Amino acid sequence: MKISRKDALTWFRFFAELPEEEPLGCRQQEIALAVFSQIETAVEARRKETLLTIPGLKAVVPGTENAFPWSPDTPACTLFVGPEVRFPGGCRSCLLGTGLSAVRKTNRCNLACPFCYDYGQLDCIEPIGEDLWEIGGSRYREEDLPLLFSLQKKPTGIAYVYLEPFMEIEKYYGIIRRFRQAGIHQHMYTNGVNANEENLRALGEAGLDELRFNLGASGTSDRVIAAMATAKKYIPRVGVETPMTREFYKALTEKKEKILATGIDFMNCAELHLNDNNLANYAGEPLYYCRMGYLSPIMSRDLTLQVMKTAAEENWPIVVHDCSNKTKFARDLNLAAREGGWFGRSGYGRETESIPYAAFLPTLEDESLAFVEEEDLPAGYRPGEIVL
């Protein structure tokens, strides 16, 4: 059903008042899903118009190593602008290789970012264990890796994640050497606050291929920008990967020249997605669901597309990558296929325990988001009727 924004708002105001433990009836679910579809359709229609205005927009396409000019019919894994040679190897592994294989060690962080998936939970993150590393959901010691490499198919790439590795970066050098010797591409995420000449040099010498700075975590601090320039002296590929927020967009606009002068290779503009931990930090922001999976503020990817348009028009020397919810959707399809999953299998899905209907009221109250097509609700679904 092509529910109108007026009827959608009426119904969602009702859904928002229901107790959390009270599930929607079957017809009520139909209404809710119709509303989410209308919102997503409206968001995608508006973004398509923006994409058509970005010069030199390229698409990473499944089954090929090369990027192609984007068109609306391209089955793209992801989109970017800039020199293809600088597209991150870690992203190629994630989207075209054997997926994003996470290697976890550190359960602590020195910041508390409002966009963090673990916001409010940072003091109770379960530790991996002394001298242990979590790889593929299991725990290993560094000396176990030769056996692991011998018995199982090696991934195209791995990523050091969870939470801030520079809290104990000296523990990482040995395992990086092991993966380097095995010929596996490695990238690492950091907020950059504890990065310095000594540990960046050590990471480069150990064999780290790619370092990604969450520049927005530090408020785009000059100190971290300087660390990015230092990292480029020792590590082959250096870039920015930050959830796109209003604050980061503003800082990026103000410090664009300083950031580009560091010599970085890429900027991954991640679409901010929300869970039960960080949702309250974005109260009042119009939201949407992408394929009923990731929940995001609409503004996040909209701002990314504006950055990409500017980068393309000004011919920035870096890749600006649209690491959107659709990219994550493609990532999970690729990973399931590589694992031999059945047709249509994917791990992509919702990351909130329940659907936060009240959080969508600002979306439906936003008159600038026009539904593409509206029609009257059929009998039995209209406001004022008992619908179960």
pLDDT for residue 16 is more than 80: yes
Taking the C-alpha atoms of residue 343 and residue 6, their distance in angstroms, rounded to an integer, is 38
Rg of the Cα trace of the chain? 22
CA-CA-CA-CA torsion sign (299, 304, 308, 311): positive
CB 119, CB 87: distance < 8 Å? no
Instruction: Work out the mean pLDDT of the chain and round it to a whole number.
Output: 96
CA distance 208 to 184: 10
How do residues 75-125 score in pLDDT, each as one tens digit? 999 999 999 999 999 999 999 998 778 999 999 999 999 999 999 999 999
Lowest mean pLDDT among 18-27, 28-37, 203-212: 18-27
Tell me the per-residue pLDDT of 328-369, one tens digit each, with 9 for 90 and over. 999 999 999 988 999 999 999 999 999 999 999 999 999 999
> Residue 387's pLDDT is what?
72
Cα separation, 63 vs 95, in Å, equals 10
Mean local confidence (pLDDT), 267-292:
98
DSSP string of 300-345, one letter each residue: HHHHHHHHHHHHHHHT-SSEEEEE-HHHHHHHHHHHHHHTTPPTT-
- State which H helix or E strand residue 223 sits in: helix 222-231
| Whole-number Cα distances in Å, 108 to 92, 163, 167 | 28, 6, 7
- Rounded-to-integer distance, Cα 135 and Cα 101, Å: 8
Q: Does CATH place domain 53-353 in 3.20.20.70?
A: yes
Per-residue pLDDT at 130 exceeds 90: yes
In this prediction, residue 7 carries a pLDDT of 96
Q: Are strands 287-289 and 67-69 parallel, antiparallel or unpaired?
A: unpaired
Axis-axis angle for helices 298-314, 246-254 (nearest 10):
20
| Tens digit of each residue's pLDDT (9 = 90 or more) over 156-215 | 999 999 899 999 999 999 999 999 999 999 999 999 999 999 999 999 999 999 999 999
The structure's pTM equals: 0.96
Torsion angle, CA of 265/261/242/183, rounded to 10 degrees?
A: 30
Q: So what's the pLDDT on residue 241?
A: 98
- In contact, 387 and 31? CB cutoff 8 Å: yes
Domain locations along the chain: 53-353
Token pair 């002296």: residue:
233
Q: What local confidence, expressed as pLDDT, does residue 304 receive?
A: 98
Question: Whose CA is closest to 318, among 307, 329, 302?
Answer: 307
pLDDT of residue 20: 83
Instruction: List, for residues 280-322, the tens digit of each pLDDT value.
Output: 999 999 999 999 999 999 999 999 999 999 999 999 999 999 9
For residue range 147-158, what is the model confidence (pLDDT) as tens digits? 999 999 999 999
